[in-house]
Amino acid sequence: MSTYRFIVLLVTMVSIDHAIADAPLLMKDISASQLYTDKEIQQQTAIADANQKSQLTILQQEFLTFKNINQLDIKKLTKQDFALLDSAIQYQSKAFKKHTEGPLPIAIFDIASAAKFKLKQHHVWLKSQTLENLYRSDWSGFKKRFLESEDVLSVSEQAAKLELVKKLTTKETLFLAEQLMNSRSFQDPLLIEVILQSKNIDYLGLLLNKLQTPIAHQIIKENISQLEKSKQAELLKSVIESNQYLASQALNQYAKLPNGYRSKSWLASKLKDKHLGASVAMAIAQSNDPLRYEELSAIVTNQKSKRVEVANALLALRFAKNEVADEHLKKLVEGKYIRFDDMQQEAQRWLK
């Protein structure tokens, strides 16, 4: 099917009766001919290519349009491609299948979203070309543009900058990181990217002590483990102390460090922490040190131990999931050494 045919198809199909904007389309809003089963979808899409010249069903027309959009090369879009994409972003699907769990018609091919995404990718690519040219020809001009406030830039330029960071030298990223730290928060994606690319441990530490976005978890899991063990321990301790948001995950990474790099007493001291104590219990459990179990039992039996401390000591034994720890738990439960009734009952249930 030619691109021209797609455009004609889209133009003729754009008009559709819209349901009210704050409600989904319901079964009563579509005709029976617009509804397809999984089997029909499979059959019709399989033969859609072959049937291009004969009469196509709505489903097949949408399938081919969707496929065509996805196959467009964002670096080589023609006039016709743009016309197709521009029409497609307004397209309302007409071929549906029934939702698996209830009476709701679901569009089979989201042509509009595919077109929007393709255009977005194209714009990012265009921006990245401009930025890369500037980077290669005019460092000063590039610097200025790179450091410009995000507020005045398009989304595609921001995305292009993020992509470009990978091509910068360590020295350049270090310089840019220093500049950006003066003006942006540690949640800023560009600042995060240049710091990661700079591989500067001090900056990484500063970043992790503040960071609360999803990428933080990837950094804790992947980037930090590439550092030498003592550095990892130092960084993770700092994160645990200063970034409550990341502390639980950081504790888990800390627990994985070899024995000599972990401070047992420091970990134990945090068992009574109201917010983090349970995560500390998990960390202690994962350090897999049977000698700790005596100490944990002692915390439980000590009359001076606070409620939170007793709870977390019990949790550490529970999380250890091994026979020695279970034996300690059993002794504590059967000997009724747990002085808080609700905890005694909860621990009792673990042993069932």
Binding site for another protein (CB under 8 A): 18-26, 38, 41-42, 45-46, 63, 66-67, 70, 92, 99-107, 110, 112-114, 116-117, 120-121, 212-214, 216-218, 221, 245-249, 252, 275-276, 278-279, 281-282, 307-308, 311-312, 314-315, 318-319, 342-343, 345-347, 349, 352
The residue among 80, 50, 83 whose CA lies nearest residue 64 is 50
CB nearer to another protein: give 77 or 112: 112
Rounded least distance, CB 102 to another protein, Å:
3
Tell me the C-alpha distance between 352 and 347, whole Å: 9
- Residue 334 CA to residue 352 CA, distance in Å, equals 12
How far are the Cα atoms of 60, 61, 258 from residue 54, in angstroms, in the given order?
Answer: 11, 11, 68
Shortest Cβ 349–another protein spacing (Å): 6
Residue 290 CB, nearest distance to another protein (Å)? 20
The minimum distance between CB 133 and another protein, in angstroms, equals 22
Nearest Cα to Cα of residue 220 among 235, 230, 210, 231: 235
Q: How far is the CB of 137 from another protein (least distance, A)?
A: 27
Residue 23 vs 291, nearer CB to another protein: 23
Structure tokens at 73: 């090369």
Amino acid identity at 197: Q
Torsion-angle region of residue 288: left (phi > 0), alpha (psi -120 to 50) or beta? left
The residue (of 198 and 249) whose beta carbon lies closer to another protein is 249
Distance CA 258, CA 307 (A): 31
On whether the CB atoms of residues 314 and 328 are closer than 8 A, the answer is no
- Minimum CB separation of residue 351 from another protein in Å reads 11
**Cross-sheet strand order for the sheet of 105-107:** 35-36, 96-98, 105-107
Nearer to another protein, 100 or 259 (CB): 100
Of 44 and 200, nearer to another protein (C-beta) is 44
* Integer Cα distance of 188 and 165 in angstroms: 14
Quote the tokens at residue 204. Answer: 């990484």
> Least distance to another protein from the beta carbon of 13, Å?
15
Q: Taking the alpha carbons of 304, 307, 311, 312 in that order, is the dihedral positive or negative?
A: negative
Question: What distance lies between CA 286 and its chain's CA centroid?
Answer: 25
Name the amino acid, one letter, at 215: I
Q: State how beta strands 105-107 and 96-98 pair.
A: antiparallel
- Measured from the CB atom, the residue of 179 and 302 that comes closer to another protein is 302
Specify whether the CB–CB gap between 337 and 303 falls below 8 A.
no
CB of 262 to another protein, least distance (A): 16
Q: Residue 315, class by beta-carbon neighbours within 10 Å (0-12 exposed, 13-18 middle, 19+ buried)?
A: buried
Q: Which is nearer to another protein, 96 or 146 (CB)?
A: 96
- Of 61 and 312, which CB lies nearer to another protein in the complex structure? 312
* Distance of closest approach, residue 110 Cβ to another protein, in angstroms: 4
Question: Based on CB atoms, which residue is closest to another protein, 146 or 318?
Answer: 318
